[in-house]
Chain A
Amino acid sequence: MSAATGERSDGGSLVSAPGAVRRRIAFDRIIGWVLLLAFVAVLFPLFDMIYWVGEKALPSFGWQTLTETQVGLGGGLYAMIYGTLLLMVIATSFATAIGIAAGFYTAEFAPPVVQRIGRLAGNLLAGVPAIVLGYFGYIALVLYTHWGPTALAAGITLGVFMVPYVYRTTDLALSNVPTSQREATLAMGASRLQYLTRVGFPIAFPTILTGIFFAMALGVGDAAPVFYTAGFPSAVNQGLLSPTSYLTGAIWLFYSVPPSEGSLLTLGFQAAFVVILIVLGLNVVVQIISDRYRHRFRGLYA
């Protein structure tokens, strides 16, 4: 009970020795700093990765990287960028149509049992390995249809990969709309569909949008779903039913093709740079939308 332990020694009846309190507090402080080391371990790879991709990609990066088609050891990424955008358009349309429709139904109309099954299925679908989906797409959309590798098959496979993200976000956003809004609308005599289209959807829309952008960011970055279905021609895509190249595939290909160094590998790093830019851009958009949304609807979610 010395004065050195300060006021806190009054609470020392919980512990045996007076010094123990100080030791416990010191330990608590120290462990707070020790835990921060984990951030170093995780954020170092993040920044190191971005640094090296920039270091390898930027010195020879220019307009011709974006506008020329790759031929032999030279050229640019035009065909891959075009292909990636095309795939994203197909996949996003597919995933958005299905995801939003399913989310609407699950949140508003489905009986509780269907709700539970749908939500579980959505989360399970998100847990299916991308390569399994890709292989499924290869069997169902390339072999069964006798199309061969096509942009459409790849886009749909990628769409299946993105569906659960859009679906779960839509459902969550609609379910999180305050009950008061729903009750007020229904009490005015509106139908559920009217509630959904005029009240529920406008409130949930920013969140749904973040979900779509989030799904797009994941879709841009994952090559596994499209690897088996898109083919990888070096020429620019000729239409929906012809094969297409894409950025993530370029990274893998230019790395794995011997001698896996030199100008092709640099092109691979440049593809990685472009993909990272797209993904970061989409993430920033998500962040901005959700910040604005939180600001705008602050009173609603009090």
Chain B
Amino acid sequence: MERSEDQPLPRTGGGAPPSGPAPYAAPPAGGRWVRTGLVSIVAWIPLILLVTVAAVLVWESGLQNFGWSFFSFDYNLVPLTPGQTSFGIGVFVLGSAITAGLALLFATALSLALAISIAVYLPALPSRVLTILTNLLAGIPSVVFGLWGAVILAPYFGLTLEPALHAIIGWLPGFGGPTESIGPWGLLLATFILTIMIVPLTTALMRESLQSVPRDMVEAGLALGATRWEVVRRVRLRVARRGLWTAVLLGFARALGESLAVAMVIGASTTLPTSVYAPSTTVASFIFYQLDSAFTYPNLLRALVEYALILLVIALVVNLLAQRLTRVELATATMAGGLEAR
């Protein structure tokens, strides 16, 4: 900025200086070629990319080929009688729903606590440091989460945590299945990894919406003698309601779309899970690790396109819902402090 201040800006001819009822609406001629030229297409590029992705997937998918059996729980790539392959997505949808749903439950609780701490309770410096640290967590590559979960956490889950859960809350439906005999990789481990992975995003979004509660509302509450917690509960959480739901939705979409880390810890089973300890598969992780098989079976390649399409549709619907609640910048939500100076 200092650079440009020294040298005077040359006037380009023709354009009238902005004046009259619409003072800034009429720019001089210099920008016109940009506005009307080819360059204007670039504004549409994100949309074009989005539409292209969807169009290619729709074009390639053979939804007619698979019909209603596609939405069944019946997945069989290499059947005993040839020609009887079936690509039911049910098992994977169930796996996605369980892992993403449970992860969302935990992540919501955790990140509410984090966001309230950062936005209300902590002094400026610790809250800044902790914000940076949680954003750092968002930057850790998903494959590293997967490696850590699969190699380091898995023995602990399989030998200690899962038997303990079985003993304590085994009477709950879903928690009563066998534990040690089926290996540590499964829904529970995947849920844990997913929880840690989406917490940074939901925390960042929740913190932002809690901090954007109008100051006078907060101060009115405090002036009436309410404690900070009472203001949080009765004012902030209510005013920021929409933003919080947005965070939850976007976290859910993120959890649904995570492929690599989940693929490493969920155990890759294509049968219905019998308990939360059992191995399973999510839609995203299934697409990921079927690469080698897809090269061998052209049929599977088409089925995977449909899986990808369904994943895309779900992600877009959830994201659109979230954006309708409150306009949020998903792309820059967990950026390390870059956009805070408004």
Task: State yes or no: do A and B come from one complex.
Answer: yes
A residues with a Cβ closer than 8 A to B are 11, 14, 24-25, 27-28, 31-32, 34-39, 41-43, 45-46, 48-49, 52-53, 56, 98, 101-102, 104-106, 108-110, 114, 117-133, 135-136, 139-140, 160, 163-165, 167-169, 172-173, 176, 181-183, 185-194, 198-199, 202-203, 207, 210-211, 214, 217-218, 220-224, 227-228, 248, 251-252, 255-256, 265, 268-269, 272, 275-276, 279-280, 282-283, 286-287, 289-291, 293-294, 297, 300-301
Q: How far is the CB of A145 from chain B (nearest CB, A)?
A: 13
The answer to the question of B174 belonging to the interface, with a C-beta cut-off of 8 Å to chain A, is no
Q: Which of chain A's residues have a CB closer than 8 A to the CB of B276?
A: none
Q: How far is the CA of A251 from the CA of B49 in the complex (A)?
A: 29
Q: How far is the CB of B308 from chain A (nearest CB, A)?
A: 5
The answer to the question of B172 belonging to the interface, with a C-beta cut-off of 8 Å to chain A, is no
Assess the A283–B136 pair: CB atoms within 8 A: yes
Convert B124-142 into 0s and 1s, putting 1 for each residue whose CB lies closer than 8 angstroms to a CB of A.
Answer: 0000001011111101111
Query: Which residue from chain A places its CB closest to the CB of B116 in the assembled complex?
Result: A35
Query: Which residue from chain A places its CB closest to the CB of B42 in the assembled complex?
Result: A101
Q: How far is the CA of A140 from the CA of B52 in the complex (A)?
A: 10
Among B11, B196, B250, B331, the residue within 8 A (CB) of A122 is B331
Number of B interface residues at 8 Å Cβ cutoff, please give it. 110
- The contact sample of 11 A-B pairs, CB cut-off 8 A, is A35-B116, A53-B147, A117-B47, A128-B315, A132-B312, A140-B56, A192-B30, A192-B34, A194-B9, A228-B291, A279-B139
Assess the B323–A136 pair: CB atoms within 8 A: no
Q: Which of chain B's residues have a CB closer than 8 A to the CB of A289?
A: 338
Q: Which 5 A-B pairs have the closest CB atoms?
A: A191-B30, A129-B257, A221-B141, A38-B113, A192-B31
Query: Which residue from chain B places its CB closest to the CB of A41 in the assembled complex?
Result: B110
Interface of chain A, helix or strand or loop or mixed?
Answer: helix
If A169-B338, A211-B335 touch, whether A218 touches B259 (CB-CB below 8 Å) is: no
Assess the A210–B338 pair: CB atoms within 8 A: yes
Assess the B144–A272 pair: CB atoms within 8 A: yes
- The interface-forming segment of B12-20, B77-85, B237-245 is B12-20
Q: How far is the CA of A227 from the CA of B250 in the complex (A)?
A: 24
Q: How far is the CB of B199 from chain A (nearest CB, A)?
A: 6
If A129-B312, A283-B136 touch, whether A118 touches B332 (CB-CB below 8 Å) is: no
The answer to the question of B228 belonging to the interface, with a C-beta cut-off of 8 Å to chain A, is yes
Among B47, B116, B264, B320, the residue within 8 A (CB) of A252 is B264
Q: Which of chain A's residues have a CB closer than 8 A to the CB of B148?
A: 45, 48-49, 52-53
Q: How far is the CB of B63 from chain A (nearest CB, A)?
A: 15
Convert B26-39 into 0s and 1s, putting 1 for each residue whose CB lies closer than 8 angstroms to a CB of A.
Answer: 01111100110001
Query: Which residue from chain B places its CB closest to the CB of A298 in the assembled complex?
Result: B341
The answer to the question of B328 belonging to the interface, with a C-beta cut-off of 8 Å to chain A, is yes
Q: How far is the CB of A121 from chain B (nearest CB, A)?
A: 4
Q: How far is the CB of B22 from chain A (nearest CB, A)?
A: 12
Query: Which residue from chain A places its CB closest to the CB of B319 in the assembled complex?
Result: A127
The answer to the question of B160 belonging to the interface, with a C-beta cut-off of 8 Å to chain A, is no
Query: Which residue from chain B places its CB closest to the CB of A214 in the assembled complex?
Result: B335
Q: How far is the CB of A260 from chain B (nearest CB, A)?
A: 8
Q: Which of chain B's residues have a CB closer than 8 A to the CB of A192?
A: 27-28, 30-31, 34
Among B113, B319, B339, the residue within 8 A (CB) of A35 is B113
Q: Which of B222-272 contact A (CB under 8 A)?
A: 224-225, 227-230, 250, 253-254, 256-260, 263-264
